[in-house]
Structure 1
Amino acid sequence: MKCWSISIIGWRSNFEYIYGVLEEFKNHINSSFFHLLEGRFLLACSGGLDSVVLAHLCHSAGLNFAMAHCNFQLRGDASDRDETFVKQLAKKFNKEEHVISFNTADYMSKNKVSLQVAARELRYDWFYALMEQKGWKTLVTAHHADDDLETFLINLSRGTGIDGLTGIPEKTESISRPLLKYSREQIAAYAKEKGLEWREDSSNLETKYLRNKIRHQIVPLLKELHPTFLSNFNQTQHFLRQSSGIAEDYVEQLKRKLFIKETDVIKISISELLKLNPIEGYLYALFHDYGFVEWNDVQSLMTAMGGKEVRSKTYRLLKHREYLLLEEISIPLGLEYEIQEEEKKIEEPIKMSLAIVDSIEETGNTILYVDKETLKYPLMVRKWRKGDYFYPFGMRGSKKVSKYFKDVKMDQISKEKQWLLCSKDNIVWIMGKRGDERFKVTKGTKKILKISIQE
């Protein structure tokens, strides 16, 4: 809005005179955050200037919310006084309040993370757990335009794509930030006008933290460059978000064309990828959501030997013939699951049933009939190991499991997902694929055990 000005005096005379702060905030809620009118939401309140102004505006606008405060126990009595202040503020507004204390230092030590990461993980995990417990769908935070600029500069300093340059989103599925278009100066002017009190966190003045250094040393210089620097930045962010939206739509169309879903694996044609230019930009757009950051390695994978892979923290890309295979890293390797003789139904790691039957009737890849008396308990369900061999059903002699996998053209990811049913050291069944000749039902079989994989 043009009536906003970087000058507190100009902002008060124009903005407050024409609209009134509260009325403008109500209009902002009605136009951009209508969902906050539909039910109770959770408002995060540290007790600092920004969250106090947010709570005051939401209360004055008649919104239905509860307040949540985290005591990180990092500043001794000052942290406890922050907690007391928020409790008193909630009582003043007649709002339900929730407070929790964290041993943040212990969390940092155990998880080997920085203070900022620890505080973020602790508070948001608690916020979401509280929301789930109460049935609340939205968390409201007091991020504002200066926070957005700081985040932009942090991402820029670390290296980022267009998503990192678009800054903090006003809304996500679970978080709303109705103050994001307002500057810190505007928020401070409102607090002064209303005579509001808030708590000051002394750690916010320490420039040893990157965000604080940017806030206190870099942003003031940028604002000196031009009197409307922040509003110009907001306008640039607006256009960047629009450009990002256009790019996202195109990338989604490209993914629908290139990403072939096969069970839990996505298969991508390398020859189709190589048609894209510039390849580096396309690889980033297609794969950065999966956590990949080593883009030279991702690009090199397309011309690497089969079986080579690149991993992020949550996904991996694997070269298999003329494809890249994308898979979420979820199943730890090396796990073993025992099946006792009396068990009739198994849930982990693969659902199956075991039953004594009179004869062989229905058949298929998901069913195996064996001579129960040839089995030695407990049975074991495990993954393939190097050197494993079995006696393929219907054939004479043994065969290495690795050779069987090669013969049926099984890719590396499928190999690692494949479960084996074993009797002691002997493989009974490459599950869903091939049984072992040594355990087959014969004319002399007295007890037929039917093993079925459940869908």
Structure 2
Amino acid sequence: MLSILQKHLEENLPFLAGKKLLLATSGGIDSMVLIDLFNQLDYTIAMAHCNFGLRGNESDGDEKFIKDYAQKNNIELFVTHFDTNKYAEEFKLSIQIAARRLRYNWFYELIEQNDFDYLLTAHHLDDSIETFLINLTRGTGLDGLTGIPQQNDKIVRPLLPFSRNEIEQYTKENNITWREDSSNASDKYLRNKLRHDVVPVLKSLNPSFLESFQDTLNHLKQSQSLADDAAILVYKQVVSEQYSQKLINISKLKRLPNYKAYLYQWLAPLGFTAWEDIYSLNEAQSGKQVLANGYRLLKDREQLILEPVEESVTNVYEIPEGTTEISQPFAMRLTNVNKTLKKYANNAIYVDADTLKFPLFARKWIEGDYFFPAGMNGQKKKVSKYFKDEKMSLSEKEKTWLLCSGNQIVWIINKRADERFKVTDKTTQIIKIEVL
């Protein structure tokens, strides 16, 4: 197994050579084989062990086992403890998801703090089979049927070509000891049910199941690669980018024979799952949206707007009298000047200082807001009507700020000033308000 692994590393993972590697270590059979193998190869390695505190004395026994091994083999070891139950309860997560999030957050901290190049985990071929079956039972696209990837960013899985039987055989031939996790015997979790009840049946039906499955995975990965390439080519024809937004042209999209497949390719990696809602956006009214994992897909006339959802911010910012510059919620400068310019950009207005009532306020618009647009001879207009007339999308409306004096709108920032505050022949003090 050592020589096969060495060849696999040279042919498929050559970038690991000469790098500083951190090995995730549970104490179980897979991770102990991983450590033993890499300890024999010419790599700089360290071990990282998480005590999740879920199995009492058994968890502490795992930790002691790992510490003794590291000391005996002179391998650098990092250990941490988690209150996994508390974390899961606080963030309303399953224990499995909570443990996964905790350990990988910690692994990335170790990588950054100690200049490791990669994290190695001991996932193997049987794990990939189980992942395939889990995704199959839950419903998935092609990407969910390609098993566990060999590499995700800094996470590398060098044992994926090997089966559980090969790993067990290696421990017998090399007298490798490990710790048995009692939870692996429970069918409480779906992965364990598949491991104990489904995979053995598949292996019994086809003695060459593992080899056949590996071939199937390779074919699926090739198909996924083709789909990815097609999605990139079509993306360039259908999608334009504007700052943090991606604008999907609905007319061009619908001319594609399988436009739903392309939407899936673009959106699934971002966490979108409500596919029927997404597909129906093409025919929906403007303003309809689908949210997922910090993103939203918004229907706006003849396009779909994909953008990150901004974190909530304070609704109202106070600007006291005498303020010359602010940085939140945007950068703005207030300057006393002697005259106005005849022409100036939308990011600045000139106002009669005597018409202002301090403190001023910057806030988002609310239903019922109205102002008197400059240049409209004192005609009152609802802000919502102004937005509609300007054909502003929901996203643009949400990002627009108002500058207010008391209950009166002085300026729809970068859009339109209010007539009531304009400079006249009777003005004695002028303030220039400029967004930087």
Give the equivalent residue in structure 2 for 1:380: 361
Structure 1 residue corresponding to 2:372, chosen from 391, 395, 400: 391
User: Is residue 2:401 matched to residue 1:416?
Assistant: no
Instruction: State how far apart, in whole Å, the 2-side matches of 1:430 and 1:263 are.
Output: 21
Instruction: State how far apart, in whole Å, the 2-side matches of 1:136 and 1:343 are.
Output: 48
Give the equivalent residue in structure 2 for 1:206: 186
AA in 2 matched with 1:65: I
Answer whether contact 2:126 2:163 (CA < 8 A) is retained: yes
Give the equivalent residue in structure 2 for 1:445: 427
Instruction: State how far apart, in whole Å, the 2-side matches of 1:41 and 1:429 are.
Output: 57
Structure 2 residue corresponding to 1:97, chosen from 77, 80, 104: 77
Give the equivalent residue in structure 2 for 1:262: 242
Give the equivalent residue in structure 1 for 2:12: 32
Alignment of 1:160-199 (within 5 A): 160-199=140-179
| TM-aligned CA deviation for residue 206 of structure 1 | 0.4
RMSD of aligned alpha carbons: 1.8
Give the equivalent residue in structure 1 for 2:227: 247
Answer whether contact 1:333 1:383 (CA < 8 A) is retained: no
Structure 2 residue corresponding to 1:42, chosen from 22, 33, 40: 22
Give the equivalent residue in structure 2 for 1:150: 130
AA in 2 matched with 1:373: D
Alignment of 1:62-81 (within 5 A): 62-81=42-61
Structure 1 residue corresponding to 2:293, chosen from 297, 313, 335: 313
AA in 2 matched with 1:287: L
Give the equivalent residue in structure 2 for 1:371: 352
| TM-aligned CA deviation for residue 358 of structure 1 | 3.4
| TM-aligned CA deviation for residue 279 of structure 1 | 4.1
Corresponding pairs, count: 434
Q: Percent of counterpart pairs with the same letter?
A: 49
| TM-aligned CA deviation for residue 222 of structure 1 | 0.8
| TM-aligned CA deviation for residue 424 of structure 1 | 2.4
- TM-score after normalising by structure 2: 0.95
Instruction: State how far apart, in whole Å, the 2-side matches of 1:38 and 1:443 are.
Output: 76
| TM-aligned CA deviation for residue 46 of structure 1 | 0.6
Q: CA separation of 1:397/1:174 partners in 2, compared to 1, >3 Å: closer, same or farther?
A: same
Answer whether contact 1:37 1:64 (CA < 8 A) is retained: no
Structure 2 residue corresponding to 1:295, chosen from 271, 275, 295: 275
Alignment of 1:324-403 (within 5 A): 324-332=304-312, 335-361=315-341, 363-395=344-376, 396-403=378-385
Q: CA separation of 1:343/1:184 partners in 2, compared to 1, >3 Å: closer, same or farther?
A: farther
Unaligned runs of 5+ in 1: 1-20
Give the equivalent residue in structure 2 for 1:436: 418
Unaligned runs of 5+ in 2: none
| TM-aligned CA deviation for residue 448 of structure 1 | 2.8
Q: CA separation of 1:75/1:383 partners in 2, compared to 1, >3 Å: closer, same or farther?
A: same
Q: CA separation of 1:222/1:334 partners in 2, compared to 1, >3 Å: closer, same or farther?
A: same
Please identify, of 165-174 and 391-400, the stretch whose mean Cα deviation from structure 2 is larger: 391-400
Give the equivalent residue in structure 1 for 2:260: 280
User: Is residue 2:68 matched to residue 1:88?
Assistant: yes
Q: Please give the per-residue CA displacement for 1:164-204, whole angstroms capped at 9, x wherever unaligned.
A: 00011101221100011111111111122111111111001
AA in 1 matched with 2:115: G
Please identify, of 251-260 and 361-370, the stretch whose mean Cα deviation from structure 2 is larger: 361-370
| TM-aligned CA deviation for residue 62 of structure 1 | 2.4
**SS, match of residue 100 in structure 1:** strand
Answer whether contact 2:18 2:43 (CA < 8 A) is retained: no
Q: Please give the per-residue CA displacement for 1:396-449, whole angstroms capped at 9, x wherever unaligned.
A: 222111111111111111111111122222212111111112222334434433
Structure 1 residue corresponding to 2:201, chosen from 221, 243, 248: 221
